[in-house]
C-alpha cells in the first residue's frame, strides 16, 4: 500500500460520468478507493505470490492467487477510503486533492467512514478464509500502520516517508505468505526493493506539490536550508542501495546475465533521473523522476519473474 498516489489525482468522477455515463455517486466511491494505487498494489502482491509458488503454471494455484489479489484489493481500497476520511479537511486546502469526493462535499464523511471500514474488514476476513492467517495478519498490520502511524505523522515530521514506506512495501509479503504460509528471505528481498523504491517516488511528488502540502499543514519536507540536503539524501541514497539490492537473487543461486543486464539498465536509468532531479530541483525533473519510478517497479518485478532463477 503505497504512501502516495503514483500519479497526480484527477477529477475521476467528472471524467467517468461525462464519458461513460456512470453514476457520479458510484464514480465518487470508486475514486475514493484510489484505483491507480491499487493497480500497483495488485502487481506487487501478485509478484510476491508467483515467486513464492514453486508450482509450474500447469499446477499453479490460480484460485488462491485470485483470492489473495481480491482480499488485498479490498483491504487496500478500504485503507484508501479511510485515509481520505481522516484527511478530508486537509485535502480541501490542496489544489491537487480539493476535488476529492469527501473534501468537495459530494460524499458525507460518515458514509465514507462506513464504506472504508466495511471494505477493510471484508478484505481482512476474506484473506483469513482464502489465503491464510499470516497473509491476513500482514494485511491487517499494514492497514493499521498506514492509518494510525503514517497518516498522522505527515503533519508532524518529514520522516513520515520512512514510516509510510513500511506498509507501502508490505503487499509482496502478503502475496508470499498466501502462497507458502511463511516468509522466506526472498520475501524480504522483494519488501526491500519496494521499500527503497518509494523514497525517490515520493520525493518527486513531494517536490512538485510542496506548496500544496505546506498549505494543508503537512510536514513532508523540512523547512530552510536542510530541505535540499533532505531531498537529495532521500532520493539518491535509496536509489544507490536499490541498484545493489535488485541484483540479489530472490531464490538464491547465481543470477543470470540477462537478468543482471536488464536490472542494471533499469536501475542506472532510474538513478540518472534521480541525479538530474537533485541537481536541478525543477518541476520537470521531478516529473521525469516520477515517470521513471512508475516504469521502474513493474519492469523490475517482470525481470525478476521472467529471468531470475526460480526456487
Please state the domain extents for the chain: 12-307
C-alpha cell at 22: 456512470
Which pLDDT tens digit goes with each residue over 193-234?
999 999 999 999 999 999 999 999 999 999 888 999 999 999
Residue 65, helix vs strand vs coil = helix
pTM of the model: 0.89
Whether 41 contacts 146, CB under 8 Å: no
> 12-307 sits in which CATH class?
mainly alpha
Which pLDDT tens digit goes with each residue over 109-130?
999 999 999 999 999 999 999 9
pLDDT at residue 3, rounded to an integer:
56
pLDDT, mean over the chain: 90
pLDDT bin (cut points 50, 70, 90) of residue 250 is confident
pLDDT at residue 57, rounded to an integer:
60
Q: CA–CA distance from 65 to each of 50, 70, 72, 130 (Å)?
A: 8, 9, 11, 9
Q: Is the pLDDT of residue 46 over 90?
A: yes
How much is the average pLDDT of 99-115? 95
| Sign of CA pseudo-dihedral 301, 31, 162, 167 | negative
Residue in 3, 230, 214 with CA at minimum distance from that of residue 96: 214
Q: Is the pLDDT of residue 157 over 80?
A: yes
Q: What CA–CA distance (Å, rounded) separates 4 from 116?
A: 17
Residue in 78, 104, 118, 205 with CA at minimum distance from that of residue 154: 205
N-term to C-term CA, the chain:
26
Whether 5 contacts 34, CB under 8 Å: yes
Whether 138 contacts 174, CB under 8 Å: yes
Which pLDDT tens digit goes with each residue over 2-41?
555 444 444 444 444 444 445 888 999 999 999 999 999 9
Amino acid at each position: 500500500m503505497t504512501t502516495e498516489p503514483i500519479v497526480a489525482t484527477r477529477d475521476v468522477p467528472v471524467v467517468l460520468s461525462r464519458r461513460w455515463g456512470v453514476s457520479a455517486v458510484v464514480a465518487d466511491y470508486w475514486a475514493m478507493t484510489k484505483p491507480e494505487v491499487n493497480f500497483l498494489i495488485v502487481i506487487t502482491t501478485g509478484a510476491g505470490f508467483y515467486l513464492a509458488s514453486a508450482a509450474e503454471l500447469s499446477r499453479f494455484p490460480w484460485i488462491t492467487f485470485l483470492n489473495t489479489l481480491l482480499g488485498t484489493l479490498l483491504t487496500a481500497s478500504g485503507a484508501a477510503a479511510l485515509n481520505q476520511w481522516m484527511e478530508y479537511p486537509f485535502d480541501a486546502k490542496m489544489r491537487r486533492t480539493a476535488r476529492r469526493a469527501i473534501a468537495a462535499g459530494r460524499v458525507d464523511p460518515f458514509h465514507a467512514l462506513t464504506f472504508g471500514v466495511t471494505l477493510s474488514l471484508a478484505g481482512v476476513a476474506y484473506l483469513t478464509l482464502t489465503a491464510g492467517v499470516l497473509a491476513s495478519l500482514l494485511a491487517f498490520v499494514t492497514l493499521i500502520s498506514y492509518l494510525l502511524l503514517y497518516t498522522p505523522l505527515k503533519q508532524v515530521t518529514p520522516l513520515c516517508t520512512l514510516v509510510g514506506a513500511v506498509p507501502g512495501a508490505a503487499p509482496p509479503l502478503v502475496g508470499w505468505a498466501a502462497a507458502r504460509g511463511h516468509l522466506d528471505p526472498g520475501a524480504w528481498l522483494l519488501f526491500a526493493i519496494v521499500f527503497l523504491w518509494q523514497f525517490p517516488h515520493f520525493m518527486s511528488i513531494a517536490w512538485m506539490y510542496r506548496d500544496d502540502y505546506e498549505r494543508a499543514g503537512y510536514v513532508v519536507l523540512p523547512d530552510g536550508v536542510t530541505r535540499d540536503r533532505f531531498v537529495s539524501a532521500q532520493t539518491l541514497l535509496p536509489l544507490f542501495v536499490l541498484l545493489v539490492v535488485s541484483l540479489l537473487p530472490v531464490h538464491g543461486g547465481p543470477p543470470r546475465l540477462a537478468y543482471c543486464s536488464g536490472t542494471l539498465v533499469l536501475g542506472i536509468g532510474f538513478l540518472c533521473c534521480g541525479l538530474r532531479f537533485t541537481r536541478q530541483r525543477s518541476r520537470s525533473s521531478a516529473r521525469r523522476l516520477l515517470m521513471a519510478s512508475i516504469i521502474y517497479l513493474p519492469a523490475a518485478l517482470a525481470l525478476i519473474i521472467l529471468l531470475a532463477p526460480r526456487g
